[in-house]
Amino acid sequence: MALIMGVDGGGSKTYAVITDAEGNLLGEGLAGGANYQKIGLDRAMDHISTAMKHALEQAGLQYADLDFVQYTLAGADREADMIRLESGLKKIPVTSWNLACDTMAGLRAGSPDNVGIVLVCGSGTNAFGRNRDGQVVQTGGFGYLYGDYAGGNHMAIETFRAAVRSWEQRDIPSILTERVPSYLGYSSMEALLNDYLDRQVRTVPSELTIVLHEAVQDGDALSIRLLSEVGHELGNAARSVMRRIGSFGVDNIPIVLIGSIFQRGKSSCLLQSLEETLREEHTDFTIEIPEMEPVFGAVLMGMDQLQLPAGPQITERLNSYRREIIVES
């Protein structure tokens, strides 16, 4: 029976899993992030190799036993990126493999025919579309300077800024003025600001998105506004893909939402704002939030490459592994 490895390398973690043609999980491995644009090619390749070796060891297999490896990597955005990454991946001793951007794994996880739009909102953000003819379009994924305005890192900064502005009465009152300093280990906004300014702090932990989501759940108006703005921006990214790709060849476009902000945050105000923005395009769509981890989308892409059937039973089996991966990561 064919053995497929999926390798999904994101900004913070790299997952590698091995399944057989029926979707049975045989081994898995975890390592650090694999976005070479952030950490360099050598470190990215080291993390990819480490995750793959852990998966092979757990499965009791060798590289030569694998029939196909599907890499889906953050940073594989342009042709120049693909060339650089392929130069590193060629050193890994597998004979049959394919490289794609990590967004494609997310699309495959939520779209059985691999047609539609995928919106990524994890530490960063990205939008990607593929039509029936195989034409692809990407919007975003290169950071704030290049037009992006969403993602966990950005949301954490906006949460911190909102707390500062509210405390200084440059914006409406908000419980963020209490929760942000508390989360960061300070007794007050004044103590937080004085220490950060004295130490010339220029970054904030991405975990502040947790504070933001909790404040939204408690009805904080400023926090609701922030998440609604993120939803609107993500909807705009999807509309950009719709316009640039033209016809998708389907009557109803799947909009697949992946990343921790969507799959674990599941904020109703963000999703409502996203849907309202999408409706402005006057195109039929269906929002999908897959249960499947993107790494198993990479496995499905590998099955597609081998022309193996991947029906509902296999999809359901791959969905069932989600809890294990999250707990172990």
- What is the set of domains in the chain, with CATH numbers? 3-95+292-328 (3.30.420.40), 112-290 (3.30.420.40)
Residue listed under structure tokens 């960063």:
124
> Cβ distance 139 to 125 under 8 Å?
no
DSSP code for 184: T
> Cβ distance 75 to 88 under 8 Å?
no
> Cβ distance 22 to 8 under 8 Å?
no
* Residue 40: both structure tokens together: 């360099």
pLDDT along the chain (329 residues), means of 10: 94 93 96 93 97 97 97 93 96 96 91 92 87 92 86 92 98 98 98 98 93 96 96 95 95 90 80 95 92 91 94 90 50
DSSP letters, 292-320, are S-HHHHHHHHHHHHTT----HHHHHHHHT
CB atoms within 10 A of CB 1: 9
Q: Which amino acid is at 101?
A: C
Q: Which amino acid is at 190?
A: E
**Sheet containing 68-73, strands listed edge to edge, beginning at the edge strand earlier in sequence:** 25-32, 13-20, 3-9, 68-73, 97-101
Helix (H, G, I), strand (E, B) or coil at 275: helix
pLDDT value at residue 301: 95
Alpha helices in 100-149, H assignment, sequence order? 102-110
pLDDT value at residue 265: 67
pLDDT in tens, 133-165: 999 999 988 888 888 888 888 999 999 999 999
Residue 64 CA to residue 15 CA, distance in Å, equals 20
Residue 32 CB contacts under 8 Å (≥ 6 apart), including other chains: 12, 13, 14, 39, 43, 47, 50
pLDDT value at residue 124: 80
pTM of the model: 0.83
The H or E element that residue 152 is part of is helix 152-167
